[in-house]
């Protein structure tokens, strides 16, 4: 039986476009081994200054709507003080204030306790960094 705390690092390739990447299946695979049927908490954390974790519906347009809303709230133009990288890259460093770099979710009997249409997603607007790491940690 696994210990009370287990962690794993995922490598995710997001490419060179703004993306919402569904991590739900990765989380479920991790919990299948780490939780051992126990109740607890899953923490999902992206250790990057320009990405976040969102719990949203995917596949019905909500993921594209989120990117469109972020594009409106945080336009990729030259208004940002942080200016290295692709033009407008400073907005990517503001993203975690709107989409936090973590989420903590309930696990019941070893299974992720999400609503019917909820998915765990990596939100990445930074086109300069196509590779991301996501840390999954189970405490139970």
For residue 14, give every residue at least 6 positions away whose Cβ sits within 8 Å of its Cβ, in sequence order, or none. 21, 122, 124, 129, 130, 131, 132
> Is 67 exposed, middle or buried (CB count within 10 Å of its CB: 0-12, 13-18, 19+)?
middle
Q: What is the pTM of this model?
A: 0.94
Domains and CATH numbers, the chain: 5-139 (2.60.120.460)
Reported for 64-67, long-range contacts at CB under 8 A and 24+ positions apart, including other chains, are 64/20, 66/20, 66/123, 67/18, 67/19, 67/20, 67/123, 67/125
The tokens describing 27, both together, are 């989380």
pLDDT of residue 1: 56
For residue 78, give every residue at least 6 positions away whose Cβ sits within 8 Å of its Cβ, in sequence order, or none. 87, 88
The tokens describing 85, both together, are 């990288």
| For residues 63-84, average pLDDT | 93
Q: What are phi and psi of 58, to 5 degrees?
A: -125, 160
The SS3 call for residue 126 is coil
Provide the CB-side half-sphere exposure for 54 (13 A, CA). Answer: 26
Q: Could you read off the pLDDT of 21-56 as tens digits, one per residue?
A: 999 999 999 999 999 999 999 999 999 999 999 999
Residue owning tokens 């249409």: 117
């Amino acid at each position: 039986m696994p210990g009370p705390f287990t962690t794993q690092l995922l490598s995710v390739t997001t490419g060179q476009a703004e993306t919402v990447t569904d991590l739900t299946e990765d989380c479920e695979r991790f919990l299948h081994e780490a939780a051992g049927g126990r109740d607890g908490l899953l923490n999902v954390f992206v250790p990057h200054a320009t990405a976040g974790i969102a719990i949203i519906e995917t596949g019905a347009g909500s993921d594209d709507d989120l990117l469109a809303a972020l594009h409106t709230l945080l336009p990729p133009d030259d208004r940002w003080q942080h200016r290295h990288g692709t033009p407008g890259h400073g907005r990517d460093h503001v993203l975690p204030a709107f989409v936090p770099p973590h989420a903590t979710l309930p696990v019941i009997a070893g299974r992720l306790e999400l609503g019917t249409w909820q998915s765990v997603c990596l939100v990445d607007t930074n086109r300069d960094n196509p590779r991301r790491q996501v840390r999954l940690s189970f405490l139970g």
